[in-house]
Amino acid sequence: MRVAVTGGAGFIGAHSCRALLEAGHGVVAIDDLSHGKKEALPAGAALLVMDVRSPQLAAEFARLRPDAVIHLAAQMDVRHSVADPMHDASVNVLGTVNAIAAARQAGARRFVFASSGGAVYGEQETFPAPEQHPRRPASPYGVSKLCGEEYVDLARREGLSAIALRYANVYGPGQDPMGEAGVVAIFLHKMLGGGDPVINGDGKQTRDFVYVGDVARANVLAVGSDAGGALNVGTGIETSVNELARSLARAAGYSKRIAHGPAAAGEQKRSSVDPRAARDQLRWEPRVALDEGLRLTAEWFRRT
């Protein structure tokens, strides 16, 4: 199967391209390289440098004739979405609409959309949140992802085999601490580079941290599935930022006391997603425990 991966040179994208190649698929990454990096792509993955909002995307997809599209290209930073909601909506809504239209015109059989469980659900009533949980985004980023889900579901009702995957907080080797929102990467970069990380607020806010290799495997399984709707991709386990910081300090050999700063605008208090539906429909479940994932990530940061 030939698979086009928008945002394919980014953090999750590069891991997904590698997992697709290992599964025997042909891969083309579409990335404007504003955050993605050519060198992150595995050997065997072709690269098309293009903004996902480009009107030329349909012509390129028509030339490439992908059997499936994994749409990962996005503005990913909650804080940036609060500061510039117009840009967030431009990339995450208009880019998604453009990618869906291009995929349909090119005759793609399958469309996989990267959504966000924590951002879409907002402040939760149930922990971990099932897919049926009320969707009350607390940031423009969450709203844009929810809007993208609705466009994907519309395309599904109109005949395109499509699914949205609601990722929890993805971390792992390759995440850019300077260009993407990811507390694990930001903290490790500072702890290993002589800087001092700062915890936003009291650090009691919780997140569901899922290893990037597990997420890439979910993307590959979704490409080969006919499942529709939306599925959570996470661990179902809450970890506070304070707990995470202590674990990262152990992995990095960082012994200083970690300071606290002001709470971040639009940040949720608690978040975790229930992955049982993905287990039932995709035969997917997380394999890498948090301590092991943090160790692997710290090792990668030491080497780079």
Over the stretch 74-111, which tens digit does the pLDDT of each residue have? 999 888 999 999 999 999 999 999 999 999 999 999 99
DSSP alpha helix (H) spans, 106-240? 117-121, 140-157, 183-193, 212-223
pTM of the model: 0.97
pLDDT at residue 181 is higher than 70: no
* 235-282 pLDDT per residue, tens: 999 999 999 999 999 999 999 999 999 997 667 899 999 999 999 999
Q: Any residues with CB less than 8 A from the CB of 107 and at least 6 apart, and which?
A: 65
* 255, amino acid identity: S
CA atoms within 13 A on the CB side of 86: 0
Among 121, 141, 171, 211, the one annotated catalytic: 141
121 classed as catalytic: no
Q: Residue 150: helix, strand or coil by DSSP?
A: helix
- 208 CA to centre of own chain: 13
Band (179; pLDDT cuts 50, 70, 90): low
Q: Does domain 2-172+209-236+268-287 have CATH number 3.40.50.720?
A: yes
Query: pLDDT tens digits for 190-232?
Result: 999 999 999 999 999 999 999 999 999 999 999 999 999 999 9
Residues 149-167: tens digit of each pLDDT:
999 999 999 999 999 999 9
